[in-house]
Amino acid sequence: AQSVTQLDSQVPVFEEAPVELRCNYSSSVSVYLFWYVQYPNQGLQLLLKYLSGSTLVKGINGFEAEFNKSQTSFHLRKPSVHISDTAEYFCAVIDSGYALNFGKGTSLLVTP
């Protein structure tokens, strides 16, 4: 089964600073990767996804991620965060062609 590992459980950052949330995946011939965001007591919303093609993927809310095959990574970045970006972020991979296999999540806390 394909899996992902999110390397940081919590990331505190000041408003307007850059942020990187790290995700590594288990190596496979083909891999499809996703980043989701979850605001408190809500469902998940897709930020961006990598299926093929360009390794730099741009998503919503100013987020982007880079697929790095040699390092088996798919880190999420934002150049300048806002208070409203405070949320839980999940990296996920398609597992067995049917459902998503999620990482354990990274809690992003943005403070003034």
Among the listed ranges 13-21, 45-53, 67-75, 79-87, the one in contact with other proteins (CB under 8 A) is 45-53
Among 57, 105, 108, 110, binds other proteins (CB under 8 A): 105
For residue 4, what are its two tokens?
A: 């992902």
Minimum CB–partner distance for residue 92 and other proteins (Å): 8
Near other proteins in 63-92, by CB under 8 A: 90
Please, are residues 68 and 89 in contact by the beta-carbon 8 Å criterion? no
Smallest separation (angstroms) from other proteins to the CB of 79: 25
Q: Tell me how far, at minimum, the Cβ of 42 lies from other proteins, in Å.
A: 6
Distance CA 85, CA 109 (A): 8
Return the number of the residue (15 or 95) whose C-beta is nearest other proteins.
95
C-alpha to C-alpha distance for 17 and 4, rounded to whole angstroms: 26
For residue 64, count CB atoms less than 10 angstroms from its CB and return exposed for 0-12, middle for 13-18, buried for 19 or more. Answer: middle
